[in-house]
Amino acid sequence: MEGKSTMPKRIVIIEDEADIVGLVTHYLEKEGYRVTAVRDGAKGLQQIKAEPPDLLILDIMLPEMDGLEICRRVRADSKTAVLPIIMLTAKGEETDRVVGLEMGADDYLTKPFSPKELVARVKALLRRAERPEAAPDRHVYGDLVLDSVRHEVRLKGREIVLTAKEFGLLEQLLKNRGRVLTRDVLLDRVWGYEADVISRTVDVHIRRLREKIPLLEDAIITVKSLGYKLKDAG
């Protein structure tokens, strides 16, 4: 469509049920994707770490290591923290689905699912991953991931509880990394017009962020008499 040839997208499926692997592989290859199937959890995780794919389809019930644990570990690794993941869950296993999404899966399909539905979900997730500006909901900074839609912050996969203002401040810093944000700008964007607050308030909240997330202690730089900036690295 764009007139330039692109490498086929690589998809890894970790699933031990041969029927499902066959079905998924068939339909995805027909769409031009390169599919690698792995049958056990531990090997699957190795494979992803060695060569991160463009998308992961992950079953929950697996030999050696279950899908939830794989999901957690994939999210905890900065190399794969934003890898699109579709979780496969058994019918009726509502808790698996909830835990899966909590562990950081982007989407899920309940077995038995239609191949068309699978292909549609894969395409949608890959499209979102390709245009990060269209999905400004996820900010990665080293081992830290802030998800604006889910309103959560994770460090190495573990959720960190922040107040609404701390969250807003961190979001602003991540969106504008490398740039100085004055106290006034931060007050305006995070506190808005409820602002009977003084600029000292910003300092207090920045201090709390640094305490809660040690990684930020050095990463947030105090720019004398101006405000703050987040170091560009990360």
Q: Which is nearer to Ca ion, 42 or 135 (CB)?
A: 42
Choices 9-17, 113-121, 133-141, 211-219; region in contact with Ca ion by CB under 5 A: 9-17
Reduce the secondary structure of the chain to three states and give it as a string.
CCCCCCCCCEEEEECCCHHHHHHHHHHHHHCCCEEEEECCHHHHHHHHHHCCCCEEEEECCCCCCCHHHHHHHHHHCCCCCCCCEEEEECCCCHHHHHHHHHCCCCEEEECCCCHHHHHHHHHHHHHHHHCHHHCCCEEEECCEEEECCCCEEEECCEEECCCHHHHHHHHHHHHCCCCCEEHHHHHHHHHHHHCCCCCHHHHHHHHHHHHHCCHHHHHEEEECCCEEEECCCC
Q: Is position 160 an interface residue for Ca ion (rule: CB under 5 A)?
A: no
CA distances from 224 to 3, 70, 140, 181, 191 (A): 50, 44, 26, 12, 22
Q: Which is nearer to Ca ion, 83 or 89 (CB)?
A: 89
Q: Which is nearer to Ca ion, 16 or 69 (CB)?
A: 16
Q: Is position 16 an interface residue for Ca ion (rule: CB under 5 A)?
A: yes
Q: Which is nearer to Ca ion, 59 or 143 (CB)?
A: 59
Cβ at position 111, least distance to Ca ion in Å: 9
Choices 11-19, 125-133, 147-155, 217-225; region in contact with Ca ion by CB under 5 A: 11-19
Q: Which is nearer to Ca ion, 70 or 230 (CB)?
A: 70
Q: Is position 96 an interface residue for Ca ion (rule: CB under 5 A)?
A: no
Choices 58-66, 76-84, 135-143, 221-229; region in contact with Ca ion by CB under 5 A: 58-66
Q: Which is nearer to Ca ion, 103 or 219 (CB)?
A: 103
Among 54, 59, 143, 166, binds Ca ion (CB under 5 A): 59
Q: Is position 124 an interface residue for Ca ion (rule: CB under 5 A)?
A: no
The amino acid at 55: L
Among 42, 61, 124, 140, binds Ca ion (CB under 5 A): 61
Q: Is position 64 an interface residue for Ca ion (rule: CB under 5 A)?
A: no
Q: Would you tell me which residues interact with Ca ion (CB under 5 A)?
A: 16, 59, 61
